[in-house]
Amino acid sequence: MNIVTNFILALGLLLQSLLGTQGVGGKLTSIMHSLGQAPLPKIEKIAYRPTPNQFAAVKKPGSSNYVATAAAAEIYDVNSGKVLYAQNTTNQLPMASLTKITTVLTILKNHQNLDEIVTIPDSLPSLGPADQKIGITPGEQFSLRDLLKATLIYSANDAANALAIWDAGSIDAFAEKMNNQASNWGLKHSQYKNPTGLDAEGHYSSAEDLVLLSTILLHSPKVREIVNTEKTTITSNSGKIYTLTTTNHDLALPNVYGIKTGQTDLAGECLVLLGRNKSGNEIVTVVLRSPNRFLESQNMVNYAFNSYIWQ
C-alpha cells in the first residue's frame, strides 16, 4: 500500500475509535455503512463533519448549567458527536410533524433524483380544517423537490401523504417502511403510524432518536438548503403556484439554519434546530412538549455557544 492508502486507513481507524463510544456519534458509523447499500444524495460513509476542523465542544469554566422546561430536550455537538445537554432524551413522546424528518429520509432512500415527477394520488386522505396543508389535488404533478419543500418548509400534511402513497402505495405500507428504516438506522425509541405526525396511538419518538435522524438529514446539501428556506414558491406542472412560508420562526435568527417544527394537541410544541456559530461549529437542539418551543430552543442555542468553546 502507498502512503495515501495508509493515511486513509489510519484516518478511518482514528474516526472509529473516536466515535465508537460516543452515543449518537457511534451509531452514525454503522448507519453510514448501511446507507452505503442505497445511499442518500451526497452522503458520506463516515460520521458527519460539517467543517474542516475536528474540534470538540468544551465547557467554559464557571459556566452555569442549563435547565430545560420541555418534557424532553437535548443539545448535540454535530462536529464531535458529544451531547452537551440531555433531559429525558430516551422518553417515548409524540413528536408531531418532526415525523416528517423520517418521512423525507425514507423517500430519499429510494428516490434520489429530485427532478422526478410525482403525481398526486386519487387516494389522498382527507384532512381536517385545522391540519396544515397547501391544498394539492389528485392528478396534479410536481417535482419531488417541490413536494419535499412543501413537506419541510410549510409542513404540509397533504404533501407528506402524497409522497407516502406515491412511494409505497398506501399510508400503512409507507409507515411500515418508516419503521423498517428506523430499525436499520438504530433508532431505539421511535415508532411510526403515518408520515405526517398527526396524533395516533403508538406514534412516538425521542429526543435522542430525533438528534440522530437530524444528523443523517444534514448529509444532503439540497435538504440543508430546503430547511434553511424562510419563504419560496413551488409550481405544479400545469403552472399553478403555491407559496410556502416556513413554520420555523427561529430561522429569522442569525445563527439558526433549520430544521423542523411540530405541534399537535397530544405532542404539544416540538422543534429541532440547527445552530451554527461564526466559526462554523454546529449543534442540533431538540425540544419535545415545550411550553414555548421557539424561545426555549433559542435559549438552548445561545447557551451552547456562550457556555462552550470548540478546541
CATH number, position 139: 3.40.710.10
Q: What is the pLDDT of residue 53?
A: 52
Q: Measured between alpha carbons, how far is 266 from 233 in angstroms, rounded to an integer?
A: 31
Check residue 274 and give its pLDDT: 98
Averages of pLDDT over runs of 10 residues in the chain (311 residues) are 43 41 42 38 36 78 96 97 98 98 97 97 95 98 98 98 98 98 97 98 98 96 97 98 98 97 98 97 98 98 97 92
SS3 assignment for the chain: CCHHHHHHHHHHHHHHHHHCCCCHHHHHHHHHHHHCCCCCCCCCCCCCCCCCCCCCEEECCCCCCCCCCCCEEEEEECCCCEEEEEECCCCCECCHHHHHHHHHHHHHHHCCCCCCEEECCCCCCCCCCCCCCCCCCCCCEEEHHHHHHHHHCCCCHHHHHHHHHHHHCCHHHHHHHHHHHHHHCCCCCCECCCCCCCCCCCCEECHHHHHHHHHHHCCCHHHHHHHCCCEEEEECCCCCEEEEECCCHHHHCCCEEEEEEEEECCCEEEEEEEEECCCCCEEEEEEEEECCHHHHHHHHHHHHHHHEEEC
Phi then psi dihedrals of residue 284, to 5 deg: -115, 130
**What is the pLDDT at residue 49?**
44
- Tracing cell 456562550 back to the chain, one arrives at 306
Spatial distance between the Cα atoms of 103 and 233, rounded to a whole number of angstroms: 21
- Residues 221, 233: Cα–Cα separation, whole Å: 19
Per the structure, the complete domain to which residue 165 belongs is given by 3-310
Structural domains in the chain (count): 1
Quick one: pLDDT at residue 55? 87
Contacts (Cβ under 8 Å, ≥6 apart) of 154: 132, 134, 244, 245, 246, 247
Could you count the other beta carbons within 10 Å of the beta carbon of residue 122? 9
pTM, two decimals, is: 0.84
